[in-house]
């Protein structure tokens, strides 16, 4: 049975789009993006955007919306055992309609990929579907916020993720 992802977090006017791969087992169980307690996504975003990472999930999502951050995954659905991105199988993978989202949100000025796996999936499954004017959007591959990515510290991840701030009005770097 395939793993099926979530609907996007979509502000009225998005300035950046953050794309992961597919929700983890913990995220699926809680029906929340980045729900694993050791995933660094929420602490990173809290530090960059100036909110408390301890807010309830709805409050954290509202902070993303308020700052113009759209959040989604490259995959709508895929076969995967466990939570590791490396376990996502290409056979039967269905990508989200990111081209459609970008067409509906022309205010998006940059796409940020949460880890190398998201970048690879984006390049293979999404990039070929993009309109020419969208292909030229700045795209950044950032270090995965997953606890499986222990090659760099959370502090180093925050520094690398701070690129997002350049694309968000009213957010200092």
State pLDDT tens for residues 106-148. 999 999 999 999 999 999 999 999 988 788 899 999 999 998 8
Q: How far is CA 109 from CA 12, 29, 106, in A?
A: 14, 32, 8
- Mean pLDDT (the chain) is 94
**CA 168 to CA 173: how far, in whole Å?**
10
Asked if pLDDT for residue 150 goes beyond 90, the answer is: no
C-beta atoms surrounding 57 within 10 Å: 14
**pLDDT level of residue 173 (50, 70, 90 thresholds):** low
Asked if pLDDT for residue 44 goes beyond 90, the answer is: yes
Whether 67 and 12 have beta carbons less than 8 Å apart is answered as no
Lateral strand order in the sheet of 110-114: 69-73, 16-20, 110-114, 139-142
Mean pLDDT, range 93-116, rounded to an integer: 95
Instruction: Tell me what pLDDT residue 96 has.
Output: 97
Mean pLDDT, range 54-72, rounded to an integer: 98
**CA 143 to CA 113: how far, in whole Å?**
8
**CA 129 to CA 148: how far, in whole Å?**
30
Q: How far is CA 20 from CA 17, 25, 132, 170, 171, in A?
A: 10, 14, 23, 25, 22
Residues above pLDDT 70, as percent of the chain: 99
Q: Measuring CA to CA, which residue among 34, 37, 55 is closest to residue 46?
A: 55
Pairing of strands 75-78, 94-95: antiparallel
Asked if pLDDT for residue 39 goes beyond 90, the answer is: yes
């Amino acid at each position: 049975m395939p793993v099926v992802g979530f609907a996007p977090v979509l502000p009225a006017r998005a300035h950046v789009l953050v794309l992961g791969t597919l929700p983890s087992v913990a995220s699926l169980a809680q029906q929340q993006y980045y729900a694993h307690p050791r995933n660094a996504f929420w602490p990173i975003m809290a530090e960059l955007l100036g909110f408390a990472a301890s807010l309830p999930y709805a409050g954290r999502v509202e902070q993303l919306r308020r700052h113009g951050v759209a959040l989604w995954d490259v995959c709508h659905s895929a076969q995967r055992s466990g939570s590791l991105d490396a376990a996502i199988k290409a056979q039967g993978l269905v990508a989200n309609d990111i081209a459609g989202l970008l067409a509906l949100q022309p205010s998006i000025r940059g796409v940020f990929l949460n880890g190398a796996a998201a970048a690879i999936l984006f390049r293979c499954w999404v990039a070929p579907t993009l309109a020419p004017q969208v292909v030229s959007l700045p795209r950044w591959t950032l270090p995965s916020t997953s606890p499986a990515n222990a090659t760099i510290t959370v502090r180093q991840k925050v520094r690398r993720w701070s690129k997002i701030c350049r694309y968000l009005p009213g957010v200092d770097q």
